[in-house]
Chains A and B, each alone.
Chain A
Amino acid sequence: MKSLVGLFLVLAVLVLIPVLESAFAAGDEPGEYLDRRVIIWNLFFRMMTVAFVVGAVVSGTLIWQCWRFRESHPQAKPTKYEGTDW
């Protein structure tokens, strides 16, 4: 049952994406004068800012976890399912 729901979820997304794309695609209404270089650079700059922030947070979390939960940490405790006496 669960896999059926998952399958239909995937299928629904596959149908939805083209529908949304055609709904939001450039229509016939005229555009305004703009500098492609500025639009494209701004997009790139914002995406890269987000990418580097996310990268720093994720790698920072991983590094902190490795440091904090190492066996030699002064406050390290064995978990129940390790079943060892420290």
Chain B
Amino acid sequence: MRELTGKMSGHSNWPEWIYVGVIIALMCWVGAEAWEAERLVEHVPEDAETIKVTGQQWFWTFEHEDGTKEIGELHVEVGKAYKFEIHSTDVNHSFNIHDYVVLMDAIPGRVNTVWFAPTDAGQHDIQCREYCGLIHYNMRGTLYVEEPST
């Protein structure tokens, strides 16, 4: 048997290096996958209609590209892409359409964007997801997804 030198000799470091390598490879893979998903969901399609979303205590206002305004409800069409430009006039809010995994903060003094393309006709809840005061719980709206008009 080989003479032992040092208190922990006779032991191989290879398993540890393999372990470290596997962990680094896994983390690179996880990062790349997450990055790719983020890239996909953040790129807005060219023909997306812009809808200005304003959050204020305690309701949502929407303004379409043609100037149409809606309060507390939003009408969109199946198969079209919509880009929301979200801002707030008072405190922090968060614009959420739960059924379509749309979630973006509404912050006073800045415009945050998020986009989605509804796939089926129906009604969905819009809800504030950032505590914004007394009636936060009731800062809701309704998304109406309709069949295309043309």
- Enumerate B1-35 residues with CB–CB distance to A below 8 Å: 4, 7-8, 10, 26, 29-30, 33-35
The digit string for A29-47, where 1 denotes a CB below 8 A from any CB of B, is: 1111111110110110011
Specify which of B4, B34, B41 is in contact with A36 (CB 8 Å cutoff).
B41
CB neighbours (8 Å) of A43 from chain B are 33-34, 37
Chain B contact-residue range equals 20 to 34
Chain B residues within an 8 Å CB radius of A31: 40, 42-45, 115
A26 within 8 A of B: yes
Q: Are A36 and B30 interface neighbours, CB within 8 A?
A: no
**Pair A39/B30 contact, Cβ less than 8 Å:** no
CB of A80 within 8 A of CB of B10, answer yes
**Contact surface of B with A, Cβ cutoff 8 Å:** 4, 7-8, 10, 26, 29-30, 33-35, 37-46, 81, 100-102, 115-117, 119
Is A62 in the interface zone, CB < 8 Å from B?
Answer: no
Q: Is the interface of A mostly helix, strand, loop or mixed?
A: helix
Question: In the complex, A33 Cα to B81 Cα: how many Å?
Answer: 7
Q: Which residue of B lies closest to A54 (CB)?
A: B26
Tier of interface size on chain A = 20 to 34
Asked whether A24 is an interface residue with its Cβ less than 8 Å from the other chain, the reply is yes
In the complex, given contacts A36-B100, A43-B33, A81-B8, what are 5 additional A-B residue pairs having Cβ atoms less than 8 angstroms apart?
A26-B38, A26-B43, A39-B41, A42-B37, A47-B33
Residues of A within 8 A of B8 (CB): 81
How many whole Å from B9's CB to the nearest CB in chain A?
9
Inter-subunit contact A35/B119 (CB<8 Å) = yes
